[in-house]
Structure 1
Amino acid sequence: MINFNGTIMSHDSSLLTQNRAFLYGDAVFETVKTVNSKILFLEDHYFRLMSSMRIIRMEIPMNFTMEYFEEQILTLAKAKNIENSARARITVYRNNGGYYLPENNTVSFLINVEALNNSLYSIDQKEYKVDLYTDFYVTKQLLSSIKNTNKLINITASIFAKENGLDNCLLLNDSKNVIEAIQGNIFMLTGNKLITPPVSEGCLNGVMRKQILALAQKIENLEVVEELISPFDLQKADELFITNVIKGIQPITRYRKKEFAFNLSTILVQKLNESISSN
């Protein structure tokens, strides 16, 4: 029996009462976008998931191939008739048993999908305000670069943003450098130099981050580097934008009193859609 919200009741499912993802955050996940019955950047998502599982010493099932990963997601999206434009999340968690020390390293997974309105990426030109979040800091370590289910900093930062009329917050690491936004990687354009923090600073090793770096490197007269970004650098920037697989690119139009253009963001979204259409 369990006490749920003050009521003693019987329980017949271990999904919550014994689930290690629920009890300890012992899980990793991937969020992917499907377009026309195809998972975008499938290989990058798959290998990041496998890497995350290895990092936290999960046992990878023999049948957990990239093709299996793809089939499971698309089958569910098709069953819901939303495979042409959908957001899917696969969460892999260590199986029940043990406390901090698990009884074994075998895993189970859970997939959910939901419809998206648009298949291709587009630029949202409305005002988008951000500020720094300084209540908590991201640690510069390998665990910070993977998608695990401990997202308390992102959650509290989201609440802070809402309470202060912001659209997003920029997170800092324990060296007080800017590393990412609540739900995406950060890029800064200063002159002809496009900068994003290195993964070693504690930012997520984003799939869209990788795509944008590759596309930007093909733009003539644009220097693309992975360097530290301090809060002071933001005031000198010409453009700031956030990247993730679902949105693509989200330009930041205002940081405190500084306003930003989104010319490069527009170019990169166009190139991103062209790369998707050609594959």
Structure 2
Amino acid sequence: MNELLKQLAPVPQKRPLLPSLSPQAELALLCRVLYREGYSDHIAGHISYLQDDGSILVNPWELAWDELTAGDILRLDESGKVIEGGWNVTPAINLHTEIHARRSDVKVIIHNHSRYGTVWANAGRVPPIYDQTSAQVSGELKLMDEYNVTVNESSEGARCAELLGKAKWALLVNHGVLVVAKDIAQAHLRAVTLEWRARTAWEVEALGGGKPMPSDVAQGLGDMIDGNGFPFLWEAMARREIRLDASVLDD
């Protein structure tokens, strides 16, 4: 295991993997990257990014994730009120404020109706782990039957936050997915791993089923990769988005 950790450790770079990015640019890039991964239910979905001063950056309600730029990102106070930006915030922002208030370890929260994650959520089932990429994140994938009322109800945001507890991620039955993380790179890894796992499990079951990875092996992989980060992955995916449309960085 120690040798594997050494192999995963970043090596010094002769040049930066990404240009210097503002927090707003990081968030816009995360939205673009995840849209390409299946987080693409029209204008649905929101990502919050807690800042050191206690304010919260979030994508606006009106724009799809594949069209966002850094200049579109809103800044909110801790109650969810817009204090900077020219768009509106999602009515479901209470889901984010409630989790941020309870989890000092969480700086990034992702909620969306990802294509395959939502299939499993709608089925009320947790997708098995069939391959290494699906095992990149360890820990329970919680199944939360939270859709008693719409999530924009203040009571429901609090209830979701309580049900999540200390978990990293969850499937919201009849709704979508929820991912929390300490920073942008970890949020990206967890979100793409969840959707990959959901899609791969769906494909394997469509073939008639398969043999899931042994739980101890999956746990070890997830502890190593999520625990130490996946070097260079976030940067590579962000560079791709910048190559495709550099306006994502416009402020």
Q: Would the TM-score normalized by the shorter structure come out above 0.5?
A: no
Larger radius of gyration: 1
Give the alignment's TM-score, normalised by structure 1: 0.27
Looking at secondary structure, tell me which structure has more helix per residue.
Answer: 2
Give the alignment's TM-score, normalised by structure 2: 0.29
